[in-house]
Structure 1
Amino acid sequence: MKTPTALMALIEDGVIDAVLRPLKSGKEAAVYLVRSGDHVRCAKVYKDMAQRSFQQRVQYQEGRKVRGSREARAIGKATRYGRRQQEAEWKNTEVDALYQLRDAGVRVPEPHGFFHGVLVMELVVDADGAPAPRLGEVELGPEQARAFHGVLVRQVVRMLCCGLVHGDLSPYNVLVGAEGPVVIDFPQVVSAAGNNAARRMLLRDVNNLTAWLGRSAPELLDTWYGEEMWALYEAGALAPDTDLSGHFEHDEHEADIEGVRDAINEARDEALIRQQGREAAELED
């Protein structure tokens, strides 16, 4: 296998010793198994702007902090420099989130550093020491599905207590490690307080997991953990160890003004995303 250019710099700097093999490739990044001393780890190489999906990126970036005033102005004006800075911030977001969530006790891979745009982190393994499968690739019995659901709901609560919402959580962003589920892939993580779509994304995250695990444990389909935890969060009453019941009383008379506003914003954002994609492709020509 030819060593990817992005990983050559890490070998030259002594961060890793060798690239063993590709592990997986997705729309945002490619992940490789690498050797660092006596350890086998993952190296996540983010794809270039022109190669990556721009779908719905704008809504994820709302409320994110930018590291400098010049960069913030450039991003706001959507200049080419601004879009490069936006891309850098997109990568840094996952790194920052991993360190923050790991310190808060959330089950995420342990990060080992960010070098030359490459994230080096723990390789999550199964009971046999092989790379852990994704939740969407394993069959679970009812008892295990209920247990996994409880663990994952607790991880979402702990993330929310950190002020973060995963934003793209699904059975394919969860690894089944030797000690249970581990949540991965955070470049799209959003600010719970700073993003107007945070509630909707949180509910979608929880519903995605519940729908999948509810195939094995159907009683989970009658729970409302996402709505319950968001209501507690808004009231300032949510803590990492808060006991949840899964019950929630809906206000059936409330007008869906937020849903209408979101539909309008998404149409506007999609037009901007398409423009950014075309301009990014021109930069590569």
Structure 2
Amino acid sequence: MSDLFPVPPAPASDPEALHYVETDDLAPGQRWSTWDDVGVLAGPEPWPDWVVTSDAAVDTELGVLKTGKEADVFLLERADAHAGVVLAAKRYRGLDHRMFSRDAGYTEGRRMRNSRDRRAAAKGTRHGRAVEAGQWAAAEFACLSRFWSVGLPVPYPVQLDGTELLMELITLEDGSGAPRLAQTRPAPPLLEAYWEQLVEAMRGMAALGLAHGDLSAFNLLAADDRLVMIDLPQAVDVVANPQGMEYLARDCRNVTTWFRARGLDVDAEELLADLLACAF
């Protein structure tokens, strides 16, 4: 991306490796915590109190949360003798298993620092495709880190290890996973509150010169009375990306269409003008 939104380089090791430890001390589906592994990037400080940083912690696979075209999300518990937390482990598909059908449009304006990696990606070599998969994970980690640091409603990014991104699991008050906004039917007062939160979040992104790039009711979680934005690997710089303005306008159309269909009088053009005023 542009200097407004730097993307950390993917680790030099194979970005698809998850570094599971084979030892008699651990059961199948477990590994030692990768928090302190070489090449692993930790989330922004100050770290939330619930983040488990102990060297003695164990990661335990709990199953699949969601499958997608570009990545699958799993539930993973990280715990030691004193504390534990369930995280969302988003694992990007690499090589020929990923299906980013619009890579070129989203990545215009981004820069891959390593010249060898740039050449390999351009040629579509095995190494190049692996690097590209790592770059998408790195882009989402960088975006989540920056947004969380300025107070925007996104999951806290715990760490990045190649193509595996560990992040906060967004839940309801009863501990169950928060549904996507598209799955809910909020009453009018809550619908209006959701809209106000969404507009503020979009203004915050616009003030950074960024658009979500694929915003819709399917990329928003309804966590009781608050909205949380997810799925951010394709966030675009509205200035550096030649299509940035169109992505921003499409975000506006997508969200206003959903809210209008549920009775809220909102307008995509008015929202776009509001966001442009924040961006420039």
- TM-score bin, normalised by smaller chain: 0.7 to 0.9
Alignment of structure 1 residues 253-264 onto 2, 5 Å: none
> Measured at CA, do residues 222 and 166 of structure 1 come closer, stay the same or move farther in structure 2, by a change above 3 Å?
closer
The secondary structure found in structure 2 opposite 1:160 is helix
Where does residue 70 of structure 2 map in the other structure?
28
Q: Is the 8 A contact 1:63 1:195 kept in 2?
A: yes
> By percentage of residues, which structure has more helix?
1
Where does residue 14 of structure 1 map in the other structure?
33
Q: Is the 8 A contact 2:140 2:232 kept in 1?
A: yes
- What number of residue pairs does the alignment pair up? 231
Where does residue 3 of structure 2 map in the other structure?
none
Q: Which runs of 5+ in 1 are unaligned?
A: 237-285
Where does residue 276 of structure 1 map in the other structure?
none
> Measured at CA, do residues 180 and 92 of structure 1 come closer, stay the same or move farther in structure 2, by a change above 3 Å?
same
Task: Tell me how far apart the structure 2 counterparts of residues 30 and 42 of structure 1 sit (CA, whole Å).
Answer: 10
Task: Tell me how far apart the structure 2 counterparts of residues 13 and 163 of structure 1 sit (CA, whole Å).
Answer: 39
Provide, for residues 95-143 of structure 1, a one-character-per-residue CA deviation record: whole Å limited to 9, x for no partner: 1111011001110000110124211110100122110000000001222
Question: Residue 62 of structure 1: CA displacement?
Answer: 0.4
> Measured at CA, do residues 40 and 54 of structure 1 come closer, stay the same or move farther in structure 2, by a change above 3 Å?
closer
Q: Aligned letter for 1:8?
A: Y
Task: Tell me how far apart the structure 1 counterparts of residues 191 and 228 of structure 2 sit (CA, whole Å).
Answer: 14
> Measured at CA, do residues 81 and 61 of structure 1 come closer, stay the same or move farther in structure 2, by a change above 3 Å?
same
Question: Residue 6 of structure 1: CA displacement?
Answer: 4.1
Q: Is the 8 A contact 1:146 1:217 kept in 2?
A: no
Question: Residue 52 of structure 1: CA displacement?
Answer: 2.1
Alignment of structure 1 residues 53-64 onto 2, 5 Å: 53-64=99-110
The secondary structure found in structure 2 opposite 1:107 is coil
Q: Which runs of 5+ in 2 are unaligned?
A: 1-15, 22-28, 35-57
- Identity among equivalent pairs (%): 32
- Are 2:172 and 1:126 equivalent residues in the alignment? yes
Where does residue 256 of structure 1 map in the other structure?
none
Pick which of 169-178 and 211-220 moved more: 211-220
Task: Tell me how far apart the structure 2 counterparts of residues 83 and 21 of structure 1 sit (CA, whole Å).
Answer: 27
Provide, for residues 54-87 of structure 1, a one-character-per-residue CA deviation record: whole Å limited to 9, x for no partner: 3111100101132323333444555554443323
Alignment of structure 1 residues 6-155 onto 2, 5 Å: 6=18, 8=20, 11-15=30-34, 16-37=58-79, 38-76=84-122, 80-155=126-201
The secondary structure found in structure 1 opposite 2:65 is strand
Task: Tell me how far apart the structure 2 counterparts of residues 7 and 133 of structure 1 sit (CA, whole Å).
Answer: 31
> Measured at CA, do residues 222 and 188 of structure 1 come closer, stay the same or move farther in structure 2, by a change above 3 Å?
closer
Task: Tell me how far apart the structure 2 counterparts of residues 231 and 76 of structure 1 sit (CA, whole Å).
Answer: 37
Pick which of 47-56 and 98-107 moved more: 47-56
User: How does the TM-score come out when normalised to structure 1?
Assistant: 0.74
Q: Aligned letter for 2:78?
A: S
224, 241, 246: which is aligned to 1:178? 224
Q: Aligned letter for 2:66?
A: K
Q: Aligned letter for 1:148?
A: Y
Task: Tell me how far apart the structure 2 counterparts of residues 130 and 147 of structure 1 sit (CA, whole Å).
Answer: 22
209, 212, 215: which is aligned to 2:261? 215
Question: Residue 12 of structure 1: CA displacement?
Answer: 3.0
Where does residue 198 of structure 1 map in the other structure?
244
